[in-house]
């Protein structure tokens, strides 16, 4: 049986360890988010819908979340955007790359390429702390 002094020492060690882990994780910000940005002009709506049906489960599998998905766009300067502008958020740029270059996705990308003219690129976000500095 464990005596009270040993039990108190173990409990104190756990508390100190958890405080240290919390302080360490608070001092190390998470990596910036990663984004897939796509501008799409659909040529064949039925075929593009088939692509979307195939792509959505893969996007979810890699942790992607749609921030925009073809809603209204407003041109302000420069060339107008494509018909559809999609932004998909991932936990990091590395995760966005894992999605984009995965066999899961590259197997279905030809469906999009046949049904639409697209421009896609990956963008690394900012850490909120860094973004608030001038």
Whole-number Å distance between alpha carbons of 81 and 69 = 13
| pLDDT tens digits for range 15-60 | 566 655 555 556 788 889 999 999 999 999 999 999 999 999 999 9
pLDDT of 92: 97
| pLDDT tens digits for range 61-72 | 999 999 999 889
Query: What does residue 31 show for φ and ψ, rounded to 5 degrees?
Result: -65, 155
Query: What does residue 90 show for φ and ψ, rounded to 5 degrees?
Result: -125, 165
């Amino acid at each position: 049986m464990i005596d009270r002094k040993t039990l108190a020492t173990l409990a104190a060690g756990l508390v100190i360890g958890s405080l240290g882990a919390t302080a360490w994780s608070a001092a190390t910000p998470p990596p910036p988010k990663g984004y897939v940005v796509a501008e799409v002009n659909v040529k064949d709506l039925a075929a593009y819908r088939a692509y979307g049906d195939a792509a959505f489960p893969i996007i979810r599998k890699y942790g992607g979340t749609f921030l925009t998905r073809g809603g209204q766009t407003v041109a302000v300067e420069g060339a107008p955007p494509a018909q559809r502008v999609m932004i998909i958020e991932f936990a990091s740029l590395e995760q966005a790359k894992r999605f984009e270059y995965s066999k899961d996705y590259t197997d279905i990308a030809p469906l999009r390429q046949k049904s639409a003219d697209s421009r896609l690129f990956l963008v690394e976000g900012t850490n909120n702390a860094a973004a608030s500095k001038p």
